[in-house]
Protein backbone atom coordinates (compact mmCIF):
# COMPACT_ATOMS: atom_id res chain seq x y z
CA UNK A 1 0.00 0.00 0.00
CA UNK A 2 1.90 3.10 -1.22
CA UNK A 3 -0.24 5.60 0.73
CA UNK A 4 -2.89 5.23 3.41
CA UNK A 5 -6.47 4.29 2.63
CA UNK A 6 -9.36 4.45 5.11
CA UNK A 7 -8.44 3.01 8.53
CA UNK A 8 -11.31 0.51 8.31
CA UNK A 9 -10.16 -0.56 4.83
CA UNK A 10 -6.60 -1.05 6.07
CA UNK A 11 -7.86 -3.08 9.05
CA UNK A 12 -9.98 -5.29 6.78
CA UNK A 13 -7.05 -5.80 4.39
CA UNK A 14 -4.79 -6.80 7.27
CA UNK A 15 -7.24 -9.54 8.22
CA UNK A 16 -6.78 -11.07 4.76
CA UNK A 17 -3.25 -10.15 3.68
CA UNK A 18 0.19 -9.08 4.83
CA UNK A 19 0.08 -5.35 4.16
CA UNK A 20 3.30 -3.40 3.60
CA UNK A 21 2.60 0.27 4.40
CA UNK A 22 5.16 2.02 2.28
CA UNK A 23 4.42 5.49 3.68
CA UNK A 24 5.57 4.33 7.13
CA UNK A 25 9.04 3.34 5.93
CA UNK A 26 11.89 5.65 6.88
CA UNK A 27 13.60 4.72 3.61
CA UNK A 28 10.89 3.85 1.04
CA UNK A 29 13.44 2.77 -1.60
CA UNK A 30 15.11 0.35 0.81
CA UNK A 31 11.72 -0.97 1.90
CA UNK A 32 10.71 -1.51 -1.73
CA UNK A 33 13.91 -3.42 -2.42
CA UNK A 34 13.25 -5.65 0.56
CA UNK A 35 9.67 -6.57 -0.40
CA UNK A 36 9.93 -6.47 -4.21
CA UNK A 37 10.04 -10.25 -4.56
CA UNK A 38 7.04 -10.77 -2.26
CA UNK A 39 4.38 -8.33 -3.44
CA UNK A 40 1.48 -9.80 -5.42
CA UNK A 41 -0.96 -6.91 -5.08
CA UNK A 42 -1.03 -3.13 -4.84
CA UNK A 43 -3.88 -1.34 -3.04
CA UNK A 44 -3.74 2.19 -4.44
CA UNK A 45 -5.70 5.42 -4.11
CA UNK A 46 -5.97 8.49 -6.31
CA UNK A 47 -2.85 10.09 -4.83
CA UNK A 48 -0.68 6.97 -5.08
CA UNK A 49 0.58 6.82 -8.69
CA UNK A 50 1.29 3.34 -10.04
CA UNK A 51 3.56 3.81 -13.06
CA UNK A 52 5.43 1.34 -15.24
CA UNK A 53 8.60 1.68 -13.16
CA UNK A 54 6.74 0.52 -10.04
CA UNK A 55 5.06 -2.31 -11.93
CA UNK A 56 8.41 -3.50 -13.32
CA UNK A 57 9.99 -3.28 -9.87
CA UNK A 58 7.56 -5.91 -8.54
CA UNK A 59 8.18 -9.11 -10.56
CA UNK A 60 5.43 -11.09 -8.80
CA UNK A 61 2.78 -8.38 -9.11
CA UNK A 62 -0.57 -9.76 -10.28
CA UNK A 63 -3.20 -7.12 -9.57
CA UNK A 64 -3.51 -3.39 -8.83
CA UNK A 65 -6.71 -2.63 -6.89
CA UNK A 66 -7.55 1.04 -7.30
CA UNK A 67 -9.66 2.90 -4.73
CA UNK A 68 -11.98 4.96 -6.92
CA UNK A 69 -13.77 4.68 -10.22
CA UNK A 70 -11.22 6.95 -11.88
CA UNK A 71 -7.86 5.25 -12.30
CA UNK A 72 -5.80 7.77 -14.27
CA UNK A 73 -3.11 7.54 -11.57
CA UNK A 74 -2.52 3.92 -12.65
CA UNK A 75 -0.72 3.19 -15.92
CA UNK A 76 -3.25 0.58 -16.97
CA UNK A 77 -1.69 0.18 -20.43
CA UNK A 78 1.67 -0.65 -18.84
CA UNK A 79 -0.06 -3.06 -16.45
CA UNK A 80 -1.63 -4.83 -19.42
CA UNK A 81 1.76 -5.15 -21.13
CA UNK A 82 3.17 -6.81 -18.03
CA UNK A 83 0.21 -9.13 -17.52
CA UNK A 84 -1.06 -7.26 -14.45
CA UNK A 85 -4.80 -6.78 -13.92
CA UNK A 86 -6.17 -3.43 -12.74
CA UNK A 87 -9.49 -3.06 -10.93
CA UNK A 88 -11.47 0.00 -9.86
CA UNK A 89 -14.60 0.66 -7.79
CA UNK A 90 -17.48 1.55 -10.14
CA UNK A 91 -21.21 1.75 -9.36
CA UNK A 92 -20.93 1.94 -5.56
CA UNK A 93 -20.32 5.70 -5.79
CA UNK A 94 -22.64 6.64 -8.66
CA UNK A 95 -25.51 7.97 -6.56
CA UNK A 96 -23.32 9.87 -4.10
CA UNK A 97 -21.39 11.66 -6.84
CA UNK A 98 -24.60 12.43 -8.75
CA UNK A 99 -26.10 13.94 -5.59
CA UNK A 100 -23.08 16.20 -5.13
CA UNK A 101 -23.11 17.13 -8.83
CA UNK A 102 -26.68 18.41 -8.64
CA UNK A 103 -26.05 20.06 -5.30
CA UNK A 104 -23.02 21.84 -6.72
CA UNK A 105 -24.99 22.97 -9.77
CA UNK A 106 -27.78 24.42 -7.62
CA UNK A 107 -25.33 26.03 -5.19
CA UNK A 108 -23.43 27.60 -8.09
CA UNK A 109 -26.49 28.90 -9.92
CA UNK A 110 -28.21 30.27 -6.80
CA UNK A 111 -25.04 31.32 -4.94
CA UNK A 112 -25.67 29.35 -1.75
CA UNK A 113 -22.14 29.69 -0.28
CA UNK A 114 -22.06 33.41 -1.09
CA UNK A 115 -25.48 33.92 0.54
CA UNK A 116 -24.35 31.95 3.59
CA UNK A 117 -21.31 34.22 3.99
CA UNK A 118 -23.53 37.30 3.51
CA UNK A 119 -25.70 36.24 6.44
CA UNK A 120 -22.78 35.28 8.69
CA UNK A 121 -21.09 38.61 8.06
CA UNK A 122 -24.20 40.43 9.33
CA UNK A 123 -25.02 42.02 5.97
CA UNK A 124 -28.62 40.77 5.96
CA UNK A 125 -29.29 43.11 8.88
CA UNK A 126 -28.72 46.02 6.50
CA UNK A 127 -30.22 44.74 3.24
CA UNK A 128 -31.51 41.61 1.52
CA UNK A 129 -29.13 39.45 -0.46
CA UNK A 130 -29.08 40.59 -4.12
CA UNK A 131 -31.22 38.68 -6.61
CA UNK A 132 -29.18 36.00 -8.37
CA UNK A 133 -28.68 36.10 -12.12
CA UNK A 134 -28.34 32.35 -12.04
CA UNK A 135 -31.29 29.97 -11.98
CA UNK A 136 -32.09 26.45 -13.17
CA UNK A 137 -35.22 27.70 -14.89
CA UNK A 138 -35.02 27.32 -18.64
CA UNK A 139 -31.54 25.79 -18.60
CA UNK A 140 -30.21 23.06 -20.88
CA UNK A 141 -27.65 20.78 -19.25
CA UNK A 142 -24.91 19.38 -21.45
CA UNK A 143 -23.36 16.30 -19.87
CA UNK A 144 -19.84 15.52 -21.02
CA UNK A 145 -19.50 11.78 -20.45
CA UNK A 146 -22.81 9.91 -20.31
CA UNK A 147 -21.56 6.91 -18.37
CA UNK A 148 -22.97 5.41 -15.19
CA UNK A 149 -22.58 8.60 -13.16
CA UNK A 150 -23.58 10.82 -16.08
CA UNK A 151 -26.85 8.94 -16.40
CA UNK A 152 -27.52 9.24 -12.66
CA UNK A 153 -26.94 12.99 -12.95
CA UNK A 154 -29.27 13.20 -15.97
CA UNK A 155 -32.04 11.42 -14.05
CA UNK A 156 -31.81 13.97 -11.25
CA UNK A 157 -31.56 16.90 -13.66
CA UNK A 158 -34.73 15.80 -15.46
CA UNK A 159 -36.57 15.88 -12.12
CA UNK A 160 -35.54 19.55 -11.83
CA UNK A 161 -37.00 20.29 -15.25
CA UNK A 162 -33.74 20.69 -17.16
CA UNK A 163 -33.40 19.75 -20.79
CA UNK A 164 -30.55 17.29 -21.34
CA UNK A 165 -27.98 16.91 -24.10
CA UNK A 166 -24.66 15.08 -24.09
CA UNK A 167 -21.30 14.50 -25.69
CA UNK A 168 -19.44 11.20 -25.44
CA UNK A 169 -16.96 9.37 -27.62
CA UNK A 170 -19.91 7.70 -29.33
CA UNK A 171 -23.68 8.07 -29.54
CA UNK A 172 -25.64 5.84 -27.17
CA UNK A 173 -28.48 4.21 -29.08
CA UNK A 174 -30.68 3.81 -25.99
CA UNK A 175 -30.31 7.42 -24.82
CA UNK A 176 -33.30 9.77 -25.23
CA UNK A 177 -31.08 12.86 -25.06
CA UNK A 178 -29.74 14.98 -27.90
CA UNK A 179 -26.23 13.92 -28.91
CA UNK A 180 -23.45 16.21 -30.10
CA UNK A 181 -20.39 14.60 -31.71
CA UNK A 182 -17.99 17.30 -30.48
CA UNK A 183 -17.64 19.14 -27.22
CA UNK A 184 -17.63 22.49 -28.99
CA UNK A 185 -20.96 21.75 -30.66
CA UNK A 186 -22.43 20.78 -27.29
CA UNK A 187 -21.14 23.96 -25.65
CA UNK A 188 -22.72 26.05 -28.41
CA UNK A 189 -26.08 24.31 -27.92
CA UNK A 190 -26.36 24.48 -24.10
CA UNK A 191 -25.82 26.98 -21.31
CA UNK A 192 -24.63 24.53 -18.65
CA UNK A 193 -21.79 22.01 -18.91
CA UNK A 194 -21.43 19.10 -16.48
CA UNK A 195 -18.10 17.29 -16.78
CA UNK A 196 -17.94 13.65 -15.72
CA UNK A 197 -15.26 12.10 -17.95
CA UNK A 198 -12.05 10.24 -17.01
CA UNK A 199 -8.80 12.11 -16.63
CA UNK A 200 -5.66 11.43 -18.62
CA UNK A 201 -3.95 12.62 -21.77
CA UNK A 202 -7.02 12.13 -23.97
CA UNK A 203 -9.14 14.59 -21.99
CA UNK A 204 -6.48 17.03 -20.78
CA UNK A 205 -7.66 20.66 -21.14
CA UNK A 206 -10.58 19.57 -23.32
CA UNK A 207 -12.53 22.49 -21.84
CA UNK A 208 -10.44 25.33 -23.23
CA UNK A 209 -10.97 29.01 -24.03
CA UNK A 210 -12.86 28.17 -27.23
CA UNK A 211 -15.32 25.89 -25.43
CA UNK A 212 -15.88 28.44 -22.66
CA UNK A 213 -16.55 31.19 -25.19
CA UNK A 214 -19.10 28.93 -26.90
CA UNK A 215 -20.84 28.32 -23.56
CA UNK A 216 -21.65 32.03 -23.39
CA UNK A 217 -22.29 34.75 -20.79
CA UNK A 218 -25.11 32.80 -19.12
CA UNK A 219 -22.98 29.69 -19.00
CA UNK A 220 -22.28 27.60 -15.92
CA UNK A 221 -19.50 25.02 -15.78
CA UNK A 222 -19.58 22.17 -13.25
CA UNK A 223 -16.57 19.87 -13.01
CA UNK A 224 -17.04 16.53 -11.25
CA UNK A 225 -14.45 14.77 -13.40
CA UNK A 226 -10.75 15.54 -13.00
CA UNK A 227 -9.15 18.95 -12.69
CA UNK A 228 -6.96 18.23 -15.70
CA UNK A 229 -10.03 18.21 -17.95
CA UNK A 230 -10.26 22.02 -17.68
CA UNK A 231 -7.74 24.67 -18.69
CA UNK A 232 -7.85 26.41 -15.32
CA UNK A 233 -6.13 29.58 -16.52
CA UNK A 234 -8.63 29.96 -19.37
CA UNK A 235 -11.49 29.29 -16.94
CA UNK A 236 -10.30 31.94 -14.49
CA UNK A 237 -10.06 34.46 -17.32
CA UNK A 238 -13.53 33.58 -18.64
CA UNK A 239 -15.04 33.96 -15.17
CA UNK A 240 -13.25 37.22 -14.39
CA UNK A 241 -14.25 38.80 -17.71
CA UNK A 242 -17.88 37.68 -17.55
CA UNK A 243 -17.47 35.47 -20.59
CA UNK A 244 -19.31 32.82 -18.57
CA UNK A 245 -21.55 33.31 -15.54
CA UNK A 246 -20.15 30.94 -12.93
CA UNK A 247 -18.33 27.69 -12.21
CA UNK A 248 -18.65 24.99 -9.58
CA UNK A 249 -15.56 22.82 -9.17
CA UNK A 250 -15.06 19.71 -7.06
CA UNK A 251 -11.70 18.84 -8.64
CA UNK A 252 -8.49 20.65 -9.55
CA UNK A 253 -5.43 19.94 -11.67
CA UNK A 254 -2.92 19.98 -8.79
CA UNK A 255 -4.85 18.92 -5.72
CA UNK A 256 -4.89 20.06 -2.97
CA UNK A 257 -3.40 23.21 -4.50
CA UNK A 258 -6.13 25.44 -5.92
CA UNK A 259 -5.18 28.41 -8.14
CA UNK A 260 -5.50 31.75 -6.37
CA UNK A 261 -7.08 33.06 -9.57
CA UNK A 262 -10.09 30.81 -8.90
CA UNK A 263 -10.22 31.28 -5.13
CA UNK A 264 -10.34 35.05 -5.54
CA UNK A 265 -13.43 35.04 -7.75
CA UNK A 266 -16.91 35.70 -6.36
CA UNK A 267 -18.61 33.60 -9.07
CA UNK A 268 -17.06 30.27 -8.16
CA UNK A 269 -18.12 27.52 -5.76
CA UNK A 270 -15.10 25.41 -4.85
CA UNK A 271 -15.25 22.05 -3.06
CA UNK A 272 -12.29 19.97 -1.78
CA UNK A 273 -12.96 16.89 -3.97
CA UNK A 274 -15.86 15.55 -1.91
CA UNK A 275 -17.91 13.89 -4.67
CA UNK A 276 -17.86 10.43 -3.07
CA UNK A 277 -16.69 11.56 0.36
CA UNK A 278 -19.33 10.18 2.69
CA UNK A 279 -18.59 7.46 5.24
CA UNK A 280 -21.22 5.24 3.62
CA UNK A 281 -19.81 5.46 0.10
CA UNK A 282 -16.11 5.42 0.95
CA UNK A 283 -16.65 2.28 3.04
CA UNK A 284 -18.42 0.66 0.09
CA UNK A 285 -15.54 1.62 -2.20
CA UNK A 286 -13.03 0.16 0.24
CA UNK A 287 -15.03 -3.05 0.47
CA UNK A 288 -15.12 -3.43 -3.31
CA UNK A 289 -11.35 -2.93 -3.45
CA UNK A 290 -10.96 -5.71 -0.87
CA UNK A 291 -13.48 -7.95 -2.63
CA UNK A 292 -11.47 -7.68 -5.86
CA UNK A 293 -8.28 -8.73 -4.07
CA UNK A 294 -9.91 -11.61 -2.19
CA UNK A 295 -11.68 -12.86 -5.32
CA UNK A 296 -8.40 -12.87 -7.24
CA UNK A 297 -6.48 -14.52 -4.41
CA UNK A 298 -9.13 -17.25 -4.20
CA UNK A 299 -8.81 -18.01 -7.92
CA UNK A 300 -12.14 -16.49 -8.98
CA UNK A 301 -10.75 -13.62 -11.02
CA UNK A 302 -11.34 -9.88 -10.59
CA UNK A 303 -14.83 -8.49 -9.99
CA UNK A 304 -14.43 -5.10 -11.67
CA UNK A 305 -11.47 -5.10 -14.07
CA UNK A 306 -10.86 -1.95 -16.11
CA UNK A 307 -11.20 -2.10 -19.93
CA UNK A 308 -7.44 -2.09 -20.48
CA UNK A 309 -7.12 -5.37 -18.54
CA UNK A 310 -10.33 -7.30 -19.33
CA UNK A 311 -11.18 -10.59 -17.68
CA UNK A 312 -11.11 -13.28 -18.89
CA UNK A 313 -8.10 -12.04 -20.79
CA UNK A 314 -8.62 -11.53 -24.51
**Strand pairing partners for 144?**
167, 195
List the Cα angle 239/244/245 in 5-degree steps.
85
Q: What SS3 string covers 183-232?
A: HHHHHHHCCEEEECCCCCHHHCCCECHHHHHHHCCCCEEEECCCHHHECH
Q: Does residue 198 contact residue 211 with C-beta atoms inside 8 Å?
A: no
Return the pLDDT at 174. 94
Q: What is the dotted CATH code of the domain comprising 7-88+279-297?
A: 3.40.50.720
Return the pLDDT at 46. 76
Give the C-alpha separation, 16 to 123, whole Å: 56
**Catalytic residue chosen out of the listed positions 14, 24, 52, 255:** 255
In order along its 314 residues, the chain shows pLDDT tens digits of 999 999 999 999 999 999 999 999 999 999 999 999 999 999 998 778 999 999 999 999 999 999 999 999 999 999 999 999 999 999 999 999 999 999 999 999 999 999 999 999 999 999 999 999 999 999 999 999 999 999 999 999 999 999 999 999 999 999 999 999 999 999 999 999 999 999 989 999 999 999 999 999 999 999 999 999 999 999 999 999 999 999 999 999 999 999 999 999 999 999 999 999 999 999 999 999 999 999 999 999 999 999 999 999 86
| 111 DSSP assignment | T
**Catalytic residue chosen out of the listed positions 139, 167, 226, 282:** 226
Same fold, 7-88+279-297 and 94-270: yes
**Catalytic residue chosen out of the listed positions 273, 283, 297, 308:** 273
Return the pLDDT at 47. 79
Q: What is the dotted CATH code of the domain comprising 94-270?
A: 3.40.50.720
Instruction: Please state the domain extents for the chain.
Output: 7-88+279-297, 94-270
Return the pLDDT at 313. 84
226 in active site: yes
Return the pLDDT at 306. 97
167 in active site: no
Give the C-alpha separation, 56 to 59, whole Å: 6
Upstream peptide bond of 277 is cis (omega within 30 degrees of 0): no
Amino acid sequence: MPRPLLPQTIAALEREFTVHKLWEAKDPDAAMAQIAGLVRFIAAGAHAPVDEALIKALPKLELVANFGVGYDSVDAAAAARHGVVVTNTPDVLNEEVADVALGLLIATAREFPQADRYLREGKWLKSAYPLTRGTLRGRTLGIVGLGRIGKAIAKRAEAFGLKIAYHSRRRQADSPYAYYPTLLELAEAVDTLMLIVPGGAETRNMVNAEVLKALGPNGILINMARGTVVDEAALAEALASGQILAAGLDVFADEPNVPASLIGLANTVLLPHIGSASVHTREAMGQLLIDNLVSWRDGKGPLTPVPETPWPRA
